[in-house]
Structure formats: structure tokens, C-alpha cells
Structure 1
Amino acid sequence: MLMKTASQSLTEQLCARFAERIRSRLLGPGARLPSVRLCAEQQGVSVSTVVAAYDQLQAQGLVVARKNRGFFVRDAALNMALAPANKALQATKNIASAALDAGPDGLAPWMSTRQAPVGATTLIRGMFHKVSNKPQPGMGVFPPDWLETSFMPAAVRKVTSVSALREFSLQYGEPMGDSGLRRALSQKLSALNVHAVPEQIITTVGATHALDIISRTLLRPGDCVMVEEPGWAVEFARLDALGMRILPVPRRADGPDLEVMAQYCEIHSPKLFVSVSVFHNPTGYCLTPGSAHRVLQLANQHNFHIAEDDTYSHLAPEHATRLCALDGLQRTIYVSGFAKILAPGWRIGFMAAPPDLVERLLDTKLLATLTTPALLEKALAWCIDQGQLRRHAERIRTRLDAARARSVRLALAHGCTFAAEPAGLFGWVETGVDTDTLAQRMLDEGYLIAPGALFHAVRKPSTLMRINFATTQEAAFWKVFARLRDGVK
């Protein structure tokens, strides 16, 4: 709560609070500030204090007043330099109307770009902006203490002897990535029934980098790309920034909506489908074999590739259905990494690709990064070869199962339901209120939540939120959540 001090008035404190959220992108360009009366009620101050604080924000060029509408975060001046990263995401409508509304170029008018109030960069900045020392339900990673190990420092020491450090620091690494790591990854993939020789594997700076390489290699500006919705906001924004036309495919419990995909294929001839088969983010859904076969049939029939993002593979059973295992890496490209399970700061990812695409993908990697860090790749290879990564993942899965059970019990006890069966790291929670509004109120209590609107190709009001089971197993969060949610009603 705001408290008047000798050094700072309530007006100055309130202004500073909103200014910090705007500069850290927790309130993005175009976001509307609470009404004066609502803000006064939320913050426990007078209306005149809020008016004065909003006037100061306006004087600083952070917000703009719109007659009869309220105060909005400016999308010019302060945000001009960041505008390219906040390009609008593609607007969406019902696929059934797309065929009727298609223009001369075959693309429906609703597929044009428009400004969204909060983009993916806002979410990323918010996820890693230190809101408070409390566990953060909106985070997309495990808490640091979950990932602490003794074997990772040992692995680094193992590969950084004086001679090794000199050898691998004074020259570039192998273009495709460390050969020892690629051999270890080949063996690891075989346990998932994804058969790829080391020559089909390319290391990258994280899984997102792998997806970016695929997009830049296979697509050109204006090409249509199918992406599951709800889905990861970064993927929507990344493809939009490359000038692609995004076709959102509703994600069901068994897989993508096949009827929507089929209609997209007939109308728009997409070049790529980006999919998360196992522990889909944010729903936790896993692909079924029947749905997987139909997706592959569509890919062969309509000549598009599939980028299968298996970021959460370390949390899933080996027998889980994967498109790459069924397809044999013909039209599919497998993508994964180790940021979620082992070392976010190491930024090691990889892709396994069809043989005829490997050289093209490698060329794109070389143009962007030349090579990837050999020392850390060698350390990771040691962790895999020694069985350390496997044992670590088993410990994480056991701990996550317990955390999920506690989090689910607390969510249900505080009046929430789950829009999808709880599984994996994330829960897709029905709150019953607008989670954009709830998110701003939760910030005042030191909690950052991930509102459902962020997981759609175009932002729209949502009563859903994504929670991280590892960071929502304490009753304190749910008590604050329930109190503020009831206030939104």
C-alpha cells in the first residue's frame, strides 16, 4: 500500500509505480490505465491524488489522455525505438468465414496487421522483471533452486582444463555444433523413437533460435504459417516480425483442429505448421496417434513442413506421441533444448532435420551466429553421457508431480476450475474474471500472472490464466488471488 513519507508524496509514489511498469513493459503501448475512481479505490488514495499522478505521467510523456476514454500508455516517443518488436500480431476470425471473405490475393481482409496493446516482448520483460521476492505464477521456467546441481559445475571444470580452454576459446567451434554433443543427442532421440544420425543434428542458441532458423530458411515474407492457438506469444510475435501471415489453429485435447487445418490448406496453401505435441503450452495437452497421422497426411497432401517444438520432452514419458517419430524426419523438423530442465543461461538448443534440409538450415545458422559455444556444448555432452541429465530430470519430474498436486488442490479450493486436465509444468486455469484486469491488481501485491489474452494471435479479453505449478503451491498466493478476483467481479 502507498504510504506518505517525508521524502515522497502519495502522488509521487503512485506516479513512480506506474512509470516503472511502463518502462519495464509490464504495461505495454496502448494499455489503458485504470479509471481515476477505480485506481483511487485500488490504491486506497483520493481521486485528486490519482488525477495528479496521471498528470505527472502525461507530463513525462509516458501516457496520453483521450477524451471520454481515459489514460493510455503512449505508443510513440518512449516506445518508438521498440516499435519493431511490438508489431501487431495477426488479427483472427472464424475460419468458416475466411473462404467467403477472401480477397483477390486469396487472403482474407482480417489477416492484415494491427496494433496489439501488449506484445510478446512485454511478456518476456515481465517474466524476468523482479516484481518481488515472492514465487511468480506467471513464470515460464522452474525456480532456480529446482535446477541447482553439483554435476553442472563438475562438467564445466571437466572441459575447461588449461589446454582445452586455450583450444576452444581461440578458435570457432564446429559449424553444426560439437560432434560429441550431436552423438549424445542422436542416442537420446533414439529413445524417443526419433531416429536421427549426428549429421542430421544442428545445435543452436536455445530452442527459440532453432525455430527462427527454420522460419528464415523455409519461409519468405507473406508466406502463411499455421500456429496452434492458444500458444506461446513469442512464436506469434516472432513470425509476425518476419512478415509471415499467421493462421491460428485451435488446439484441442487430442491435437490441432484438423478441420480448420484442412480449410487453411485449401484456401491459403501454408508453408509451415508450428506445433507442440507433448505438454502443449499453455494447456498441457498431448497429441494422440490418430490426430498425428491425420496431420502428417495433410502435410504430405498439401506440401508443407512441420516444426515440432518438444521443449518439454524431459518432463514427458518417452512413449508420448511425436510427429517426428511417426514421420521419420521427412516433412518434420524436431526442435528441443535444455533451458527448461537444466541451464537457462547456457542457451543450448538443437534441431534434427530431414537430410535434404540440413545444409540449408546450416547456412542460415552460419549467417546469424557462425557457430555455437563449444565449451558449454562439451559440458552438456558430458552431463548426458554420464547419465547426470537423466537422473536430474527424474528428480525434477517427481518434485513437479508433488507441486502440481498441491497447486491443483489450492486452485480448486479457491473457486477455480481447469480448462484442461492438469499436466506438465503449466495449468490452464479458468478464473471467471477478466485476467488482464486481475493481472494489474496482482502486481500491486507483488505477483505477476500470465493472463490468457497473451496466448492468442490477437489479444482479446479472457478469463483464463496460465500458472506455473512449481510456483503456485503456496496458500499465500491463492488467498491474495481469491481476494482480488472477488474484487474484479
Structure 2
Amino acid sequence: MPTGTHPPLQRGASEPLAGQLAERFAQRIRERLLLPGARLPSVRDCARQHGVSPHTVVAAYDQLQAAGLLEARRQRGFFVRETRPAASRSPKPLATTRQAPVDATALIRGMFEADAGRSPGLGTLPAEWLDPVLLQSALRRLNQADSQSLQVSYGDPSGDERLRAALSQRLADLGIHASPAQILTTNGATHALDLLIRTQLQPGDAVLVDDPGWAIIFARLTQAGIRLLPVPRGVHGPDLGVLATLAAEHAPRLYLTVPVLHNPTGHSLDLATAHKLLRLADEHDFSIVEDDSYGFLAAEHVPRLAALDGLRRVVYVSGFSKVLTPAWRVGYLAAAPERLGALTDAKLLDGLTSSPVMERAVALCLEQGRLRRHAQRLRERLAQARQRVATLAARQGFRWAAPPDGLFGWLDAGVDTERLAQPLLDAGWLTAPGALFSATRCPGSLMRINMATSQDPAFWRLLRACADDISGHSATP
């Protein structure tokens, strides 16, 4: 039985079918596989998926509501309660469960726990695509004197000097002119974004964000008391008409965006849109945080906002977890000198310094060109994977919102992908429905597809069957 697949309900057992079904959902809720706000299947869909009558499903949902785990919303369906009492039974082990991607926390858990071979919704490259030999070699090349001095000191609060020099050269290759003094290293790109939120914003400030966009950023901003202003993201970049209207009405402080190989769509900003966006930033006096976490997977000629702006209004953020290793947590930001003082102070208060040993090892990977060659191999392998996934998707009659690029594709499944996620999870497949990437949790027919982890024809056959099942029953009066 595949991991995550659930056995059928047992007819004739001492526990009635409704009780068995209620306990199945209750277990998922207790184990946080269904988090607050998650929508359960409709009565009709649930009855079909589990081979029971609608009356049985209604009875099960009634039990869950009575236990305080579920709430019914008029004409919308059944949802896990936003607040619920502590479960009366101890959670069962998670060894045979899969993570249902219903919010930012669940998405992070999915990255930690997922089996890449059965995770078309994964947000990273599978481990076998990375190069552990490259990492081991970099650590060995640290000479003994350097290694000893690095291991017995906190290191420079701004980051390892050799890494910042290597990053300055990396940015120059992208057309971004930043001296080592304009670069601050961090514990990953997410840490860099967190420092910016804490130093550049106050509760109540308004911030423009891509929609669809990165759920973890939505969660961090909301937690900090920031008002989100979602800007629709299209093939060529943000909808500049909507952005201009929001900027005029709400005076945002920042626009947080992923211009290159956008997560989740895979789209990149074109040059004309980039120029217009920078003019709007000047006109409405907001800064731009450019998250280039997937930059190593893109061609170097793709325009970067920081290159066009000269780090005047733009703060550039990137890291190495997507192509090197997520374990080292090495990231960085580049900004105008007047921003660096507050950011460095926040880093010191947050955790003193970042790891000088890991940063020096990354510097060696950059200095000797090995990381550049590794990234080139990844780009070539991803190009082949995209061709294969495109063939598999077309064979099953699916289309893309735009031609896929980089690691991700934005697939149109033709039906509500939140509804699709549950039967796929029951069959052991972890997916990423589009609502997960919506700032307003708006349902829809789009879903993120990871090109490196979606090459199993069995997934595409099941996706087609589940989509047809949902579509056919939705059309039934």
C-alpha cells in the first residue's frame, strides 16, 4: 500500500461507518494534516470517495461538528474550525500519513516530510538532483588554519568577507553593482525577508504582494500585522493597472515580489514590465524587495529589478538552498548603504551572526566556478524534465496557464484543485492546489507542478481520473 493510502471503511465492524469516517477526519485534524480553515469534501464527493451513502457522510460530519472540530458555512461547505478544543485522544504516529497542503505551515511540513517521488507539489528539487560531493569537497578545501579560526569565532556580523566578495562578483554577472559592504549574509533567503519585514515595516503598514504568491510570506506579513494588497500575477509580471490603483489608494511601503521564475507560476518579468514597475515605485514612493531565490535556475540574461534600479529602491534577496543544499541555510541580501545598519543590528539581535564555516564553504564553491557548473547542469536537466512533463500533461488533456519554465509549472486542472487534493492524498500523492498560493484563499482550477517530481505517468493518469470524476459529478443535477 502506498504511503498515505487509507484502507476502506470496514462494513460489519463494531464501529458504525459514520463513526469510522468521522474518526478518519478527526485523526487528520489532530495530526494537523488538516489545519484550521481547510475545506472538507462535499457530502456527495465524500460519499463517492469512501463508498458510503450521503446519509453516512452527514452523520460523520455531524459528529465532527459536535466534537468542535468542524463548522458548516452556508452555501460553502464544511471547514475545519479556526479554533478548537484540545483533542481528547492522543495523536497517533505520523509514520504512514502524508501532509495535506492547506496553509503555510502545512507547506513547510510537506517540504520536511515528503517523499519526492510522490510529491508533484513539492517546492524544492529532490535530494538526488543536488551534488553532495560538491559540498564535501568545499568543506575539505577549507585549509586547517582557516577552519580553526572560523570555528572558534562568531565571525563578521555582516557575513564572511570572502563570501561577500564572491557574491559581489556573482551580482556583477547579473548586472547588479553591489560592493561587499552592501551585502549582508543571512541564515537563508527566508531569514533575509524576515529581517526586512522587521526593520522596514510597522504594524498597520500596507504591502503589495504577488497573487498567486508564496504562502509563507503571506503568513509572516500577516503575523507582523501588515495589510496585504494582492496584485494579480500574469505571464509577463504583475497587473500594473491593479498595482497602480492599490498604490494610489493605500500608499504601500513595499512590494514583495519574485520577478524571476516566480513561485508558483514559473513566469519571469519581462523588460518592459520591469521598467514600468520601477516608474510606479518612484511615482508612489514604495520600495521593492526582489526575491531571487530561484535565480540560479534561470538564464543570467533575464532582467533583474536591482540591476535596472541600481539598488536605489530595490533590495535584492537570494540564497543557495534551492540549488546547493537546504541544510546549510546560507542566504544574503544586497541593499543601499543606508539600509544596512538597521538590517545588521536586527541580525545581531536575532542570532548574533550566521555560520562562518558554511559561508566560507559557499565562497569556495563560487570562487572556483563549481557552483556555476552545477547550476548549468541543473538547468539542462530541468529542461529535459519540462519536456517530459509537458508530454505527460498533454497526453491526459491538461493545459498550462503559460509555458512552464524553471522548476514550476502552473497547471489548469479544469476543476477545483482543493477538491482534487483530497482524493490524490488518499492515493498517496502530495499536491499543491492554487488556493494555497492565494492571499485570499480563493479556490480555482490551477495548481503548482514541480517539474522534477512529476514525471511518473501514474500520477497523471490518476489526476485525469480524479478530475473527470469531480467534473462529471459536478455536472450531475
Q: TM-score, normalised by structure 1?
A: 0.85
Query: CA 1:159–1:13 in 2, change beyond 3 Å: closer, same or farther?
Result: farther
Post-superposition CA distance 1:423-477 (Å, at most 9, x none): 1111011111010100111101111111111111101220111100111122111
Matched residue type, 2:433: P
Give the distance between the partners of 1:66 and 1:252, measured in 2 at CA: 31
**Counterpart in 2 of 1:121?**
105
Instruction: Rate the CA distance shift 1:336–1:462 in 2: closer, same or farther, 3 A.
Output: same
**1:240 and 1:66 mapped to 2: Cα distance?**
24
Of 384, 389, 410, which aligns to 2:392? 410
Contact preservation (8 Å) 1:26, 1:125: no
1:158 aligns with 2:163: no
Matching of residues 43-192 of structure 1 within 5 Å: 43-45=50-52, 62-63=69-70, 72-77=79-84, 118-130=102-114, 134-159=117-142, 161=144, 166-192=148-174
* C-alpha distance in structure 1 between counterparts of 2:371 and 2:24, whole Å: 42
SS of the residue corresponding to residue 336 of structure 1 reads strand
Gaps of 5+ in 2: 1-5, 88-100, 472-477
Aligned to 2:41: 34
The amino acid of 2:298's aligned partner reads A
Amino acid at match of 2:332: F
Query: Which deviates further from its counterpart, 352-361 or 21-30?
Result: 21-30
Superposed CA RMSD in Å reads 2.8
Contact 2:139 2:361 in 1 (8 A): yes
The structure-2 alpha-carbon separation of the partners of 1:263 and 1:32, relative to structure 1 and needing over 3 Å to count, comes to: closer
Q: Is the 8 A contact 1:229 1:250 kept in 2?
A: yes
Residues 361, 38 of structure 1: CA spacing in aligned structure 2 closer, same or farther, 3 A cutoff? same
Correspondence for 1:221: 203
Contact 2:29 2:69 survives alignment (8 Å): yes
Deviation at 1:75, TM superposition (A): 2.2
- Matched pairs, number: 451
Q: Which residue of 2 aligns with 1:25?
A: 32
Residue 2 (structure 1) aligns with: 7
| Preserved contact between residue 2 and residue 14 of structure 1 (Cα < 8 Å) | no
Distance 2:274 2:66 in 1: 55
Tell me the TM-score normalized by structure 2: 0.87
Contact 2:116 2:453 in 1 (8 A): no
| Counterpart contact for 2:111–2:124, Cα < 8 Å | no
Task: Tell me by how many angstroms 1:18 deviates.
Answer: 2.7
* Alpha-carbon offset, residue 63 of structure 1: 3.7
1:333-382 CA-partner distances (Å, limit 9, x unpaired): 11001111110111111000011111121112112121101111111111
For residue 327 of structure 2, give the secondary structure of its aligned residue in structure 1.
helix
Maintained 8 Å contact 1:10/1:49: no
Q: Matches of 2:339 and 2:71 in 1, distance apart?
A: 49
Query: Secondary structure of the equivalent of 1:307?
Result: strand
Taking only the aligned residue pairs, the percentage that are identical comes to: 53
Which amino acid in 1 is paired with 2:50? Q
**Aligned residue in 2 for 1:232:** 214
Structure 2 counterpart of 1:154, one-letter code: S
Distance of aligned partners of 1:436 and 1:6 in 2 relative to their CA distance in 1, 3 Å threshold: same
- Tell me the amino acid that sits aligned with residue 255 of structure 2: F
In the alignment, structure 1 segments of 5+ residues that lack a partner are: 81-116
Where 1:226 maps in the other structure, the secondary structure is strand
1:267 aligns with 2:249: yes
Which stretch of the first structure deviates more once superposed, 44-53 or 172-181? 44-53
Residue identity matched to 1:148: D
Structure 2 match to 1:94? none
Offset, 1:52: 7.2
Deviation, 1:167, is 3.5
Tell me if the contact between 2:37 and 2:82 (Cα under 8 Å) persists in the aligned partners.
yes
Q: CA deviation at 1:45?
A: 4.5
Match in the other structure for 2:94: none
SS of the residue 2:447 aligns to: strand
Change beyond 3 A, Cα 1:66–1:282: closer
- 2:177 counterpart of 1:195: yes
Superposed displacement of residue 8, structure 1:
10
Counterpart residue number, 1:348: 330
Describe the shift of the 1:482–1:329 C-alpha distance in structure 2 as closer, same or farther (beyond 3 A).
same
Say which is worse superposed, 212-221 or 23-32, in terms of deviation: 23-32
State how far apart, in whole Å, the 2-side matches of 1:55 and 1:38 are.
16
- CA distance in 2 between partners of 1:294 and 1:153 (Å): 44
* Greater Cα offset, 172-181 or 16-25: 16-25
The alpha-carbon deviation at position 264 of structure 1 amounts to 2.1
Q: What is the rounded CA distance, in whole Å, between the counterparts of 1:66 and 1:258 in structure 2? A: 35
